[in-house]
Amino acid sequence: MHGKMLLLLRLGLRFATQRNRIENIRFCYEHTRFRKKPPLGSRYLTDPSLTFEFNAWDNVTWDETQEEEAKQNVAKNSCVTLTKEELSKYNEDADKYWDSFYDIHQNKFFKDRHWLFTEFPELASTTATSSACDEPQNPSTSQKRTIFEIGCGVGNTILPILKYSTDQALRVYGCDFSPKAIDILKQHAEFDPNRCEVFVLDQA
């Protein structure tokens, strides 16, 4: 009996710990999701306790140990372990493998890039300088602009642009060599065929 009680206690503690981790992750995500983010070039870390508030700071440099570790990881990831036949197969049939990938994951694998308007405010209307979390600016119709994304996938870049940009003069184009990805993108509720055109194309 004592052994069973101890086992249940351990399982309960493990479950509680896992639940707390999930809650912490959820809190961090909600905490950072809708905050106003300073643009790259103005993020200065002055309080070490805020290190993980952003994934990049403008005044932090690597020490020699970190740089050496990064070089080792790059070298490790750069090692080719496939045969020439396998490399040829994956290159020639890449579109089929990506179709299989999107059949499994649909549009739930890559996250939408909602940070685009923070790092590239010029993507918004010509008068806008706000982040994607701010109120939309008045549309600018004085100058036609075009964005063409090569390798658009299921729209993780295109969809945030269509959602947050109010510039009615902006036209967005995208291509991908995966027909499945293009189909998924066109079926998305936020896809606007009046402002966007996507198609299958292998630029390679």
Please give the chain's pLDDT, 204 residues, in tens. Answer: 544 454 445 545 555 555 555 454 444 444 555 556 676 678 888 888 888 877 778 888 888 998 999 999 999 988 878 888 998 898 889 889 999 999 999 988 888 888 787 777 777 655 444 444 444 444 444 578 899 999 999 999 999 999 888 788 889 999 999 999 999 999 999 999 999 999 999 876
Domains identified in the chain and CATH numbers = 93-204 (3.40.50.150)
39-71 burial, b for 16+ CB within 10 Å, e for fewer?
eeeebeeeeeeeeeeeeeeeeeeeeeeeeeeee
Contacts of 182 (CB under 8 A, 6+ apart): 176, 198, 199, 200
- Tokens encoding 95: 């579109």
DSSP secondary structure string, 140-186? --SS-EEEEEES-TTTTTHHHHHHH---TTEEEEEEES-HHHHHHHH
Helix (H) or strand (E) holding 63: none
Residues in the chain: 204
Rg of the chain taking only CA atoms, in angstroms:
23
Q: Do the beta carbons of residue 38 and residue 52 sit within 8 Å?
A: no
pLDDT of the residue at 203: 74
pTM over 0.75: no
